């Protein structure tokens, strides 16, 4: 049984964590397959939006499978340590992954690596029974990517509450702090995420991608740097087929048929 599933439907890529018997905890093999699936979405011209969700009733993901963690890192060389750590890395969690929107559809436990993945996404929809936690410090492990993304997205005080206390927080807290965008009833996260993805896909994909890129990269750039980087792309977009189609559709009082060109 594959630990990660990938499918595309109506220009929506759905990446599914598929290790429900282990609460979708990540092993090195699952890290590899997840990175492959996200790279496939990134390169897939037929996929305009991605949704990440998980199978099973209990958890989106309860983090790393502790049983797979190496116990003798201190006896390894620096190169061996780098090789080991590279097996527990998610490309999506870097500074900037891609310009196509990514939505997390969350349910159950969203802990450790599960929450780190969610924070790396652009939008997060959670079911009302969702539980959030970053317990790494309790196990003597520093949290890096979730700390950086969390500070940018929900503020330093809120992310430090999760990081330093290591306590669980519910969906109401997550919504109040901006950790999630929307709360839905149990069993409805994927449905709500597909609804948002379909809505995004009615817009110009070229405009959506540049808008996301400017917005996300603005966290790491000065204003003038973001503006200078966006202007040439904006100019080229204005001569695109999608731009012409948008104007034509407006004048003809109909919905535009965007192609991404």
Q: Which CATH architecture has domain 4-200?
A: Alpha-Beta Complex (3.90)
For residues 67-75, average pLDDT: 63
Using 50, 70 and 90 to split pLDDT, how confident is the model at 95? Answer: confident
- pLDDT band for 6, please (50, 70, 90 cuts): very high
Residue 153 has pLDDT above 60, yes or no: yes
pLDDT of residue 257: 81
pLDDT digits (tens, 9 = 90+) for 180-201: 999 999 999 999 999 999 999 9
| CA separation for the pair 142, 47 (Å, rounded) | 35
DSSP 111: E
What are the Cα distances from residue 249, in Å, to 209, 256, 258? 21, 5, 10
**Spans of all domains in the chain:** 4-200, 205-251
The pLDDT assigned to 208 comes to 95
Return the axis-axis angle of helices 205-217 and 223-238, rounded to nearest 10°: 170
Q: Which helix or strand (DSSP H or E) is residue 177 part of?
A: helix 171-177
- What is the Cα–Cα distance from 93 to 95, expressed in whole angstroms? 7
Among 56-60, 127-131, 180-184, 257-261, the minimum mean pLDDT is found in 257-261
Domain 205-251 class in CATH: mainly alpha
Per-residue confidence (pLDDT) for residue 248, from 0 to 100: 75
Provide the whole-model pTM.
0.86
Q: How far apart are alpha carbons 237 and 47 in whole angstroms?
A: 19
> 50: which strand partners?
13, 102
Predicted confidence (pLDDT) per residue in 207-241, tens digit: 999 999 989 888 776 555 655 665 565 556 556 77
Rounded distance between C-alpha atoms, residue 91 and residue 98, angstroms: 10
């Amino acid at each position: 049984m594959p630990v990660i599933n990938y499918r595309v439907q109506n220009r929506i890529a759905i990446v599914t964590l598929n290790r429900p018997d282990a609460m979708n905890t990540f092993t090195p093999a699952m890290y590899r397959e997840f990175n492959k699936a996200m790279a496939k979405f990134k390169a897939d011209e037929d996929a305009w939006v991605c949704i990440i969700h998980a199978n099973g009733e209990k958890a989106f993901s309860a983090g790393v499978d502790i049983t797979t963690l190496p116990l003798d890192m201190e006896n390894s060389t620096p190169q061996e340590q780098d090789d080991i750590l590279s097996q527990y890395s998610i490309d999506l969690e870097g500074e900037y992954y891609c310009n196509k929107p990514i939505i997390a559809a969350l349910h159950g436990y969203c802990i450790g690596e599960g929450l780190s993945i969610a924070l790396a996404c652009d939008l997060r929809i959670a079911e009302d029974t969702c539980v959030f936690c970053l317990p790494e410090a309790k196990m003597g492990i520093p949290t890096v990517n979730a700390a950086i993304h969390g500070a940018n997205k929900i503020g330093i005080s809120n992310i430090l509450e999760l990081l330093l206390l290591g306590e669980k927080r519910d969906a109401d807290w997550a919504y109040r702090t901006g950790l999630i965008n929307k709360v839905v009833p149990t069993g409805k996260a994927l449905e709500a995420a597909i609804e948002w993805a379909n809505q995004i896909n009615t817009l110009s994909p070229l405009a959506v991608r540049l808008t996301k890129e400017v917005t996300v990269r603005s966290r790491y750039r000065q204003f003038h740097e973001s503006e200078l980087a966006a202007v040439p792309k904006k100019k080229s977009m204005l001569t695109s087929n999608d731009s012409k189609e948008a104007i034509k559709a407006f004048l003809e009082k109909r919905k535009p048929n965007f192609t991404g060109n």
